[in-house]
Amino acid sequence: MNRLYRTFLLLLVTLPSILHAQVGDHRNDLSVGFNGGYTMSNVGFSPNVPQSQLGGFTAGATIRYTCEKYFKSICAIVAEVNLTQMGWKESITDQDNNPVINAFSNEAEQYQRQLTYIQVPLMARLGWGRERKGFQAFFQLGPQLGFFLNDKVTTNFEYDNRNISDRVGVQQYAYQDTIEIQNKFDYGIAVGLGLEFSRPKLGHFLLEGRYYYGLGNVFKNTKSDPFGKSNNNCLMVKLTYLFDIMRTKNGKIK
């Protein structure tokens, strides 16, 4: 995975020179704006911790530079700075897959931990369709960096009062509930697919589905640590608005 990550970084660094060497229609378009959306996330623990998706939000600023149209593909680089919520929501069940009832509260035990990050994705983008007026489909892919800010735990039981007898597997010890976030720096790969609608003087409106796969770990993963892997996974639906601050002067661009 680290080799794949380095390959994407190299691609993004060399993309402008590669595109300049191609025979295509030059573009010099710069657009900026803002984005927001809904996230559904979990953490890939090993050993596995049963989970459901944890909901959250993402919001931030977007900048896009379009450099060329090569055949029918519109080539661009997209960068964002986002405030994003990720984390995990545990499914605490017994060996029959029934909810574990806490002896003190007589309620099904619940635990979730929301992690807030500053995320900086940098993606190469390909689009197909209209640039100035109409619809354009797009695909984008690239590395993403994350910087942990804080976390928030929501639970309905005290750790020392958890129902150990009915829990199974790693949920009996629930190390993930007590360990502080140890790795403040996160990194991985982001991939998105979406549709853009553009209108002169109004700007660009984008709807995107995006997936982030973390290559780093939330917790340490040495032989003495309880988890060999604890990477972030996040699926998000995003809306973005962009307006042009620099645009290619070419009457043939549609």
Q: CA separation (Å) from 107 to 55, 90, 163, 164, 246? A: 22, 15, 11, 15, 58
Residue 71: predicted pLDDT: 82
Whether a cis peptide bond, with omega within 30° of 0, leads into 50 is: no
Give dist(CA 94, CA 129) in Å, integer.
52
**Each residue of 54-66: pLDDT tens digit?**
999 999 999 999 8
Residue 10: predicted pLDDT: 58
Q: Where are the beta strands (DSSP E) in 91-228?
A: 111-129, 134-155, 185-199, 203-214
Residue 15: predicted pLDDT: 57
Between CA 127 and CA 136, with CA 133 as vertex, the angle to 5 degrees is 20
Give dist(CA 197, CA 78) in Å, integer.
17
Domain at 2-246: CATH architecture: Beta Barrel (2.40)
> For strand 229-246 and strand 25-46, is the pairing parallel, antiparallel, or unpaired?
antiparallel
Give dist(CA 92, CA 152) in Å, integer.
19
Give dist(CA 200, CA 228) in Å, integer.
52
**Each residue of 100-155: pLDDT tens digit?**
999 999 999 999 999 999 999 999 999 999 877 899 999 999 999 999 999 999 99
**Each residue of 157-173: pLDDT tens digit?**
999 999 999 999 999 99
Are 135 and 197 spatial neighbours (Cβ–Cβ below 8 Å)?
A: yes
**Each residue of 2-43: pLDDT tens digit?**
665 565 555 555 555 554 554 567 777 899 999 999 999 999
- Alpha carbon 171 to its chain centroid, in Å, reads 27
Residue 212 DSSP code: E
**Each residue of 183-195: pLDDT tens digit?**
999 999 999 999 9
Residue 26: predicted pLDDT: 79
* CA-based R_g, the chain, Å: 22
Residue 27: predicted pLDDT: 76
Domain coordinates in residue numbering, the chain: 2-246
Residue 25: predicted pLDDT: 78
